[in-house]
Amino acid sequence: MFKKFLFPLTTALGNMRASMTQTFLTILGIVIGVAAVTVVMSAGASAQKLVLNQIRGIGSNIVAILPGASDENGPPAQAFGVINTAFTNDDLVALRADGAVPHMRAACGYVSGNAPVQYKGRSERDTFQGVSPAMVRVEKARVQQGRFFTDEENMRRARVAVLGVNRAHSLFGAVSPIGKKIAIKGRRFTVIGVMAPRGAVAFTNPDDLIYVPLLTAQQQLLGIHFLNFARLKVDSEAHIADVKRAVTAILRARHDIRVGEEDDFSVRDTASALTIITKITNVLAAFLVLVAAIALLVGGIGVMNVMLIVLAQRLREIGLRKALGATRRDILLQFLVEAVVVAIVGGTVGIVVGIVATWGIAQLAQHLGYAWPLIITWRAIGIAAAVSVAIGVVFGIYPAMKAACVSPIEALRYE
């Protein structure tokens, strides 16, 4: 059986060596397509793991409240850019009242904005985040220098700021920023602390942020009364369902939502967020793989076109072989093996290119501060290899059948 394929295989390799330029152009489309599929699947798995790990890092005992209604199994309204002003700081105060939400240990409200920040002639446009003083407990964050602001400073709208470690370095270099004055949106703030490094989370990096008291940010920097979202820390995962029910009841009563009416807020926990994000990233990865597969289709069409050109160039060879006793099956096998070999070579090169590109993406992401895991999935490599062989078979059948049907007399007379 092996000998039966040995001659077509050696012939195919010889023809590839004899026409290197033609071979390169033939496999280029396959290389690009296979590399794209490998990168999309591997880098997609890395990105998914990064986001899920970061959500788990916040804590498995966190309940989030977001403004706007949403399906329990779908993304919140904010994911579609919908701005809802129904969830306010007064709602957060009501939730924090003693005994209002059993098993809740801390609560933090969040707002954010982007504004010019100046210090001694240096000016940059930075993202600031208004947060409750409880943020350090809710997110398990740590202050590296100085201190975090207090409830009293939040209530009197104090102009104090705590810098992420990267922002402290960009504004002050090696000099300690504690006690220094910075201007945010033209208003002077006193730096009282620097956060310990935390690393990038999803699409933001807390180390780049400037933290200010929640009420200061709302009233003096943004001119709003609502919250972007809030996080509640629960004493145990076992009590998350109880906390969600209590939060929902309080907010429905405060917002005058009647029985049967839809909530104007969403209450989520870490576990449900992980499930939703996994579904979203899986769908996105499947779509990107489908887009990348278009390049494979183009590569397959290229293989077929080149094989048809090769057929026209080798008509005399086909006629001679048939005259010497070669059967239609022999000719069919010869051309089919050549198409498969070209596809396998292109697929192998494409897998190598894809792995190198995936490694490069991981290095770039890690350089930018993301804890990006390098994941080369065997599933991606297996699919790429299988698709390469399938391309050779599918797009090689027509030229092979056409070659097998060539009449030996017409082939020998071909000029």
More confident residue, 203 or 205: 205
Residue 22 has pLDDT above 90, yes or no: no
**Is 168 in the same domain as 215?**
yes
| Boundary (domain end) residue, out of 220, 241, 263 | 263
Amino acid at 389: V
Alpha-carbon distance of 197 to 141, in angstroms, equals 9
Mean pLDDT of the chain: 79
Q: Mean pLDDT, to the nearest integer, of 299-327?
A: 65
Q: Does residue 74 sit within a domain?
A: no
Residue 249 has pLDDT above 90, yes or no: yes
**Is 245 in the same domain as 312?**
no
Do residues 142 and 136 lie in contact, with contact meaning Cβ atoms separated by under 8 Å?
A: yes
Tens digits of per-residue pLDDT, 146-168? 999 999 999 999 999 999 999 99
Distances, alpha carbon 139 to alpha carbons 104, 127, 228, 304, in Å: 14, 19, 16, 57
Report DSSP letters for 17-55, one per residue.
HHTHHHHHHHHHHHHHHHHHHHHHHHHHHHHHHHHHHHH
Q: Where are the alpha helices (DSSP H) in 76-213?
A: 89-96, 135-138, 151-155, 165-172
Alpha-carbon distance of 243 to 84, in angstroms, equals 23
DSSP E strands in 76-197: the ranges are: 104-119, 122-131, 143-146, 160-163, 181-184, 187-195
**Is 89 in the same domain as 237?**
yes
User: What is the phi/psi pair of residue 374, to 5°?
Assistant: -85, 110
**Is 257 in the same domain as 139?**
yes
**Is 220 in the same domain as 142?**
yes
pTM for this structure? 0.62
Residue 49 has pLDDT above 80, yes or no: no
**Is 47 in the same domain as 143?**
no
Percentage, residues of the chain above pLDDT 90: 28
Q: Does residue 60 sit within a domain?
A: no
**Is 127 in the same domain as 45?**
no
Q: Does residue 210 sit within a domain?
A: yes
Q: Does residue 66 sit within a domain?
A: no
**Is 129 in the same domain as 229?**
yes
**Residue keyed to tokens 């490694």:** 359
Q: Does residue 120 sit within a domain?
A: yes
Most confident of 32-36, 122-126, 134-138, 404-408: 134-138
Q: Does residue 70 sit within a domain?
A: no
| Boundary (domain end) residue, out of 215, 242, 263 | 263
Q: Mean pLDDT, to the nearest integer, of 344-353?
A: 84
**Is 119 in the same domain as 251?**
yes
**Is 258 in the same domain as 319?**
no
Do residues 23 and 344 lie in contact, with contact meaning Cβ atoms separated by under 8 Å?
A: no
Amino acid at 324: L
More confident residue, 363 or 83: 363
Alpha-carbon distance of 112 to 124, in angstroms, equals 16
**Is 237 in the same domain as 287?**
no
Residue 247 lies in domain: 85-263
| Boundary (domain end) residue, out of 263, 292, 314 | 263
Q: Does residue 73 sit within a domain?
A: no
Tens digits of per-residue pLDDT, 349-400? 888 888 898 888 888 877 776 677 777 777 777 777 777 777 767 766 766 6
When mean pLDDT is compared across 80-89, 101-110, 140-149, the lowest value belongs to: 80-89
Q: Does residue 188 sit within a domain?
A: yes
Number of domains in the chain: 2
Residue 5 has pLDDT above 60, yes or no: no
Residue 1 has pLDDT above 50, yes or no: no
**Is 12 in the same domain as 103?**
no
